[in-house]
Structure 1
């Protein structure tokens, strides 16, 4: 049953994944490198040359400006000064977004933007932080 759900999620997220693959392939020409991360169900482009730092997930593709997703980062709430929270693993945070895309497909981007985009107010980012902290709770309306 899990395999079927994963396959359907991959298919449902495919339009967003294609956007990520196109962006990642362009990044290859500027020094990015790519590999598959089975645990994250994602193709990861490291050293992606654009953006302020960190990572961006599009479907089952993670565009990452650094060397490895296995590094710590601060939560959105911590960065915004809403509390002193322990650092989280970037890979866990981005995996939550992969799951969100697999559940919402084409609805992910409009809902994400409607919820505030890249911001501590965004329920998608808070859910991804919660998942990275606890290992559960990636659904934005939980």
Structure 2
């Protein structure tokens, strides 16, 4: 990759982090609330996010808010079923939770403050949501985190 391409990529990442910052701030507040109850904060470089591992609330798994991931587990290396697999639409291998959540980080960096409204307009936490299916696709194949272009 050329120096110019690296600079542009770095600039795009910085702009994405800034654009996603309203949700990141909310994620930080939620994560900090979990620290006294056992959550642990660390940098998840691979996911381009801050990780609150061992987060004490939620049904299990993880949730992304901007560049913050709240995970009930000790890390993001857990395997999980895709939404389509769980819904019985197809049989797919399990994916790494961190790969799925990284796709959501990228989606937040592109949509910024619009992510949550778009997410719920697209179906919320369900197999019908193209943002969730794209995150699963990314976790399965390493590309395709944006649902409207593959």
Q: TM-score, normalised by structure 1?
A: 0.98
Gap runs ≥5 in structure 2:
1-7
Partner of 2:27: 20
Partner of 2:90: 83
SS in 2 for 1:29: helix
What is the Cα-based RMSD across aligned positions, in Å?
0.6
Partner of 2:101: 94
Deviant stretches of 4+, over 2 Å: none
Q: TM-score, normalised by structure 2?
A: 0.93
Q: Quick check: 1:53 aligned with 2:63? A: no
Gap runs ≥5 in structure 1:
none
* C-alpha distance in structure 2 between counterparts of 1:68 and 1:134, whole Å: 21
Which of the pair has more CA radius of gyration?
A: 2
Tell me the number of residue pairs that the alignment of Structure 1 and Structure 2 aligns.
142
Q: Quick check: 1:129 aligned with 2:145? A: no
SS in 2 for 1:119: coil
Partner of 2:78: 71
* C-alpha distance in structure 2 between counterparts of 1:141 and 1:109, whole Å: 17
**How far 1:37 moved relative to its partner?**
1.1
* C-alpha distance in structure 2 between counterparts of 1:79 and 1:70, whole Å: 19
Q: Quick check: 1:106 aligned with 2:116? A: no
* C-alpha distance in structure 2 between counterparts of 1:50 and 1:141, whole Å: 32
Q: Select which of 97, 112, 115 maps to 2:122.
A: 115
**How far 1:140 moved relative to its partner?**
2.0
